[in-house]
């Protein structure tokens, strides 16, 4: 498995050229995108400072992919909302939620592929059933993340647990203006994420 191997080391030079030290060849962002798609792990380092710049290079790959016709994955409203979270007090929760949602989506993608195949083959109309399945998965992700957040956050609103049962008595939240403000922000973020999940 690729995850059991040492990451491939990529060096980025001042002229922006990328060098794969494993194959001793120069590569492009498109080559690195293909490595990601095949499950290969790599790290990118600045050739001069030896600083790891993997995150910025992966972001460049996304930028290039988003610029291709028919390749866009990130809706404009999602990008705007993401930008709003930078510097916000809830910023620390966003990476965890996105990682959680993508992990769940990846785990269920085979089932979704089968549903899409059934939709194409049976109805000939890919829209309704496919988006219904995606929306349902997104809803479940929001609910699961909210429940996980409630476990680790004593000030988070308590709803149904993972089995769908209501708690017998709510746990009182600590007093304080900051706690109440954060509580409201969490609720607002959950509403925003649920609204985004409903968009096709």
Per-residue pLDDT 10s for the chain (200 aa) are 445 678 999 999 988 899 999 999 999 999 999 999 999 999 999 999 999 999 999 999 999 999 888 878 889 998 999 999 999 888 888 888 888 888 888 878 777 777 767 766 544 444 555 556 566 666 666 666 666 555 545 444 444 444 444 444 444 444 455 566 666 666 666 666 666 656 55
Domain boundaries, the chain: 2-73, 77-198
* Stretch (H or E) spanning 26: strand 25-27
Q: Running DSSP on this structure, what letter comes out for residue 167?
A: P
- Alpha-carbon 172 to chain mean position: 32
Question: Considering the entire predicted model, what is its pTM?
Answer: 0.56
Residue 162 confidence (pLDDT): 41
Distances (CA, A) of 14 to 21, 28, 60: 16, 14, 16
* CA dihedral sign of residues 176, 182, 188, 194: negative
Lookup: tokens for 98: 């996105």
């Amino acid at each position: 498995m690729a995850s059991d191997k040492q990451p491939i080391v990529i060096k980025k030079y001042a002229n922006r050229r990328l060098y794969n030290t494993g194959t001793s060849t120069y590569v492009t962002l498109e080559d690195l995108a293909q490595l990601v798609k095949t499950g290969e792990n790599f790290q990118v380092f600045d050739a001069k400072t030896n600083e790891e710049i993997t995150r910025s290079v992966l972001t460049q790959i996304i930028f290039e992919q988003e610029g291709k016709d028919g390749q866009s994955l990130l809706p404009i409203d999602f990008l705007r909302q993401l930008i709003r979270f930078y510097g916000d007090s809830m910023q620390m929760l966003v990476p965890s939620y996105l990682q959680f949602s993508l992990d769940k989506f990846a785990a269920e993608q085979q089932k979704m592929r089968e549903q899409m195949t059934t939709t194409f083959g049976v109805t000939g109309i890919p829209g309704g059933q496919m988006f219904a399945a995606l929306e349902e998965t997104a809803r479940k992700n929001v609910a699961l993340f909210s429940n996980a957040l409630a476990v680790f956050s004593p000030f988070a609103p308590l709803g149904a647990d993972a089995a769908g049962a209501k708690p017998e008595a709510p746990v009182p939240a600590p007093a304080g203006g900051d706690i109440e403000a954060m509580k409201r922000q969490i609720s607002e973020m959950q509403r925003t994420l649920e609204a985004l999940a409903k968009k096709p």
